[in-house]
Amino acid sequence: MSTATAPFPQIQTRPLNKTLSIYFREARAEFLTRLRLRAYSMSIIGFPLMFYVLFGLVLNRDAAVQGTQFTTYLIATYGTFGVMGAALFGTASGLAAERGLGWLQVKRASPMPPFAYFAAKVVMSTIFSTIVVVLLFTLGITFGGVHLSAALAIKLLSTLVIGSLPFCAMGLAIGYFAGPSSAPAIINLIYFPMSFCSGLWVPIMFLPKVLRSFARVLPPYHLAQLALSTVGAGQHESNWIHWEVLIGFTLICVGIARLGFQRDEGKMYG
């Protein structure tokens, strides 16, 4: 329809600072929503910490793997496990439920910038990721005799948090193709086996040979290797390969999520 003939005055587009303020508010609301869901925040933060306490601090406190203190090694692997959980559940379960139960439609009918909705989920997930990793550091340093310089800690934290983004993309893809009640089950079905096979629970060299080679096709393996390399452990492969795999995986997931978005919008506008 021609806008030139519209009998109503056109309103200018939203100024940038106003748009940024919407993004900020959207992310804050998303974070508060999730933080107050006790069962959610307790399990996202609690699971990796619990595993770390059990396998790192209680059972193997004084062990070492290939010259790296076990408690330090496990911060990298349970850190990977933790950020992966925060990313997958943070994006997929919310999106699937809100898509399926009508809330996303209420938001789409409003003038909310559509991308703010997804950005909020990703930001919320990375905040949870940061909390998980910082708490792992705290536990390791306090009870596990872990020594991490501030620079190293920041490097490990940022590797893990940036490395959680591929899993945010994966979560969005799942959220677009899973139903509101099936999404958590689907995530668990992917999350736990993938974590185990990538050597996040038990260090990779203790896994059978067939699993060790299978791990190379799993994205969490590559993030774990990046995290381990910051503390001088791991398989000592080229970091470029790990980043390339993670970037490729992200692009595939974003592509799938985009298909889901277009399919939904197609129902809406196509």
Partner 1 sequence: MNATLQAIPSVRTNEATISPSSIIARLQRVSKHYGDVRALREVNLSLRQGELLALLGPNGAGKTTAVKLLLGLAKPTSGTASIFGGNPVDSTVRIRVGAMLQVAKVPETLRVREHIELFSSYYPAPLPLSKVLALAGLQEIKDRLFGDLSGGQKQRVLFALAVCGDPDLLFLDEPTVGLDVEARRLLWAQIRNLLEKGKTILLTTHYLEEADVLADRIVVINHGEIIAEGTPAEIKTKTAGRRIRCVSNLNIATIRGFPYVLEVEQKSNAYEIRVVEAEPVLRELLTRDPAVSEIEVSSAGLEEAFLALTRDNTAAPRR
Where along the sequence are the contacts to partner 1 (CB under 8 A)? 1, 3, 5-8, 10-11, 13-14, 18, 21-22, 25-26, 29, 32-34, 36-37, 97-98, 101-103, 105-106, 108-113, 180, 267-270
CB of 102 to partner 1, least distance (A): 4
Report CA 150 to chain centroid distance, whole Å: 23
For partner 1, which is the closer residue by CB, 9 or 67? 9
CB of 171 to partner 1, least distance (A): 17
CB of 87 to partner 1, least distance (A): 19
For partner 1, which is the closer residue by CB, 98 or 194? 98
CB of 173 to partner 1, least distance (A): 22
Query: What is the distance between the alpha carbons of residues 223 and 201, in angstroms, rounded to a whole number?
Result: 14
Cα distances (Å, whole numbers) of residue 156 to 89, 116, 134, 232: 22, 28, 10, 11
Q: Which residue has the tokens 């949870």?
A: 128
User: Rounded to 5 degrees, what angle do the CA atoms 198, 199, 205 make?
Assistant: 120
For partner 1, which is the closer residue by CB, 108 or 155? 108
Query: What is the distance between the alpha carbons of residues 223 and 220, in angstroms, rounded to a whole number?
Result: 5
For partner 1, which is the closer residue by CB, 103 or 206? 103
- The first and second tokens of residue 205, run together, are 């060299």
For partner 1, which is the closer residue by CB, 41 or 235? 41
Nearest to 80 by CA among 252, 255, 234, 212: 234
CB of 177 to partner 1, least distance (A): 19
Query: What is the distance between the alpha carbons of residues 203 and 227, in angstroms, rounded to a whole number?
Result: 13
For partner 1, which is the closer residue by CB, 41 or 250? 41
Phi (first) and psi of residue 266, to 5 degrees: -65, -40
CB of 38 to partner 1, least distance (A): 9
**Bridge partners of residue 69, in order along the sequence:** 64
Query: What is the distance between the alpha carbons of residues 240 and 223, in angstroms, rounded to a whole number?
Result: 11
